[in-house]
Amino acid sequence: MARDDFKKGQDSEFEEDVVFVNRCCKTTKGGRRMSFSAVIVVGDRKGRVGLGYGKANEVAEAIRKGGEAARRSLVRIVMKGSTIPHPVQGQCDGGRVLLMPASDGTGVIAGGGMRPVLEMAGVHNVIGKSQGSKNRLNVVKATFDALSQLRTAEAIHTDRFGAPLAEPAADAVPVVEEAAPAPEVVEVTAPAEAPAAPVSEEPAAPAAAE
């Protein structure tokens, strides 16, 4: 009993989303036999997501089988904040999807089978477009294929150059350039002006008569 409680507590962090339930009818000699299949997406909205496909004669049993299969196939995706780090394309049979990063506040602009996968993975800002078949199962698998191709900048740098991305040392002291000394200011003193000649206050001589 304690083991079952521990398992339930462990699974409580994951949420389930039923993408679709398909009904199959088989005609036999004794009549028609009904069966159901369900596609389930499980995730914790923190970067882990899984896909499951269950089949049974009852809807509830098909959903339960799909949920268990999804929990066994959980994968962790690479994220950059609340979006994906770079544009990526995914394909499964005839289904093709394109995912592009978006700024904060954009939301999940995607429909069909892409939206439940992105929401369960915890991607809050992304732009998605379905470019191929509209089959929901293929679209869901193509979305998982696209998410599995996401990589960090460090991983891309390692693949291209064979060495990890260099990080600045924590104890490195930043080099501060010394400012050039200010030029000396030389004061130039103007020569003293000579005193002006005194103005005579005597009256002018009268003009000579012609």
- Farthest-apart Cα atoms in the chain, separation: 163
Q: Where are the alpha helices (DSSP H) in the chain?
A: 2-11, 59-72, 114-121, 136-148, 153-161
Question: For the whole prediction, is pTM greater than 0.75?
Answer: no
* 44, burial (CB in 10 Å: exposed 0-12, middle 13-18, buried 19+): middle
Q: Are 95 and 75 in contact (CB under 8 A)?
A: no
* Nearest-angstrom CA–CA distance, 113 and 139: 6
Residue by residue, pLDDT tens for the chain (210 residues) are 333 443 444 456 788 888 889 888 888 887 888 899 999 999 888 888 999 999 999 999 999 999 999 999 888 988 888 888 888 888 888 888 999 988 888 888 888 888 899 988 888 889 988 888 888 888 999 999 899 888 887 777 677 776 666 665 555 555 556 666 666 766 666 565 656 656 555 555 555 554
